[in-house]
Homo-oligomer: A and B are copies of this chain.
Amino acid sequence: MAAEETKVLQEAYPMKGGDGLYSYAKNSTYQRKATGYAKELIKAAIAGKLDKEILLSSKTFRIADLGCSVGPNTFSAVQNILEAVESKYQYYCQELNPQIPDFQVFFNDHTSNDFNLLFTSLPNDRGYYAAGVPGSFYGRLFPENSIHFVHSSYAIQWLSGVPKELVNKNSPAWNKGRIHYSSSGDEVVMAYKAQFDKDMEQFLQARAQEIVCGGLMVLIFPGIPNGTHHSQNQPSINFEILGSCLMDLARKGMISEEKVDSFNIPTYNMSPQELEAAVERNGCFSIEGKENLPLSVQSDSGDQNISGQFVESHLRAVVEGIIKQHFGEKILDVLFDCYRRKLHENFSIFESGKMGSFFFLLKRRAAN
């Protein structure tokens, strides 16, 4: 029951709403590009791995996008899935049943997501019935056996919350003066990893109950290549640059050092191997495909070289909300000015880090 959801540690880190300069809507081209690369993979997945029986079993085909934020990426991802399912239906099923199923799409994100913006941005000519579902995807969101296709892009790197040990002064995993883990000791890294393992098990367990047997789940996430040492974790290096700016602000007396000590970014950049291990431990899904997405980032202006400005505006869209929540609004401009400068100074360290964008295709096994 949905009541379970409330048992899960629930902290919300919505992307920046609205459509202003630093909004997620205007600063998610990177995420959109990953979705773009993934589009062809999703089409192929539906063509090759979605059983005909699933299409014929229900008059409604239900799609969920988990961690949808406010658009527009979610709309184009959903449209792509819908068209691929329609094509498959027309090709394989229409002789058996001429009526193409109705599509119902569930847009999920934290309760604090700007659903009002999401709803007003819904495409007018959408070929589906839309619904918004508020809540953490680490708990149950949907009735049993009710979803045929789950999509989640750039969302599962967010943990359900900050591992408790990181802010406990008496713990060996106390992450003093840092906000992520690339330059922390093993205890901190282990605390992050343990939280990831626990969260991912809850994620897979909830989805296993919700997805019909034979249903598909596509997970797209930023992570690190297998075997990367945490000190070379590029997204984490990026956060550490931001963290060192927070410490600069503390030294200047703009914020307290304790405030920085008690702040950590609750993301974990998994490797494909780590996700694979979690899926195997869970046992309810088979892995039907995994791919590295090419990382050719380009800015909105079409410039192929990733720039500090580009990295900054994307980072800001993603973390501004969580920073504001903890430190207040006043420091934002100073902080991101400092970050931009430091990123520029340390760009070679940043560039030497490793990251990847990964695509996993899972299929719900027959009930077990």
Contacts and interface: CB of A to CB of B under 8 A. Distances in A.
Interface of A: 1-3, 6, 59-60, 101-104, 106, 111-112, 114-116, 119-120, 122, 124-135, 140-146
Contacts of A134: 119, 122, 130, 132
Contact of A143 (B59, B111, B112): B59
A65 to B, nearest CB: 13
A210 B130 CA distance: 14
Contacts of A101: 143
A356 to B, nearest CB: 34
B144 A102 contact: yes
A188 to B, nearest CB: 32
A2 B128 contact: yes
Given A130-B2, A130-B133, A130-B134, A59 B144 contact: yes
A143 B2 contact: no
Max chain B C-beta neighbours (<10 A), residue from A59, A130, A140? A130
A82 to B, nearest CB: 11
9 contacts: A1-B127, A59-B145, A102-B144, A103-B143, A115-B116, A115-B119, A119-B132, A129-B140, A129-B141
A364 to B, nearest CB: 16
A147 to B, nearest CB: 11
A290 B141 CA distance: 36
Given A112-B120, A129-B141, A104 B3 contact: no
Contact of A60 (B112, B133, B146): B146
Contacts of A144: 59-60, 102
Contacts of A133: 129-132
Contact of A2 (B129, B141, B146): B129
B143 A129 contact: yes
A139 to B, nearest CB: 11
Most B CB within 10 A of own CB, among A3, A119, A128, A133: A119
Nearest to A60: B143
Contacts of A6: 124-125
A142 B114 contact: no
A127 B60 contact: no
Contacts of A59: 143-146
Contact of A106 (B103, B127, B131): B131
Contact of A3 (B2, B115, B120, B125): B125
A103 B146 CA distance: 11
A3 B132 CA distance: 17
A111 B146 CA distance: 25
A192 B2 CA distance: 43
Contacts of A1: 102, 127-128
A132 B129 contact: no
A111 B130 CA distance: 11
Given A2-B127, A115-B116, A132-B131, A104 B143 contact: yes
A132 B132 CA distance: 5
A107 to B, nearest CB: 9
B145 A132 contact: no
Contacts of A132: 115, 119, 131-134
Contacts of A127: 1-3
Nearest to A141: B129
A144 to B, nearest CB: 6
Given A59-B143, A115-B119, A131 B129 contact: no
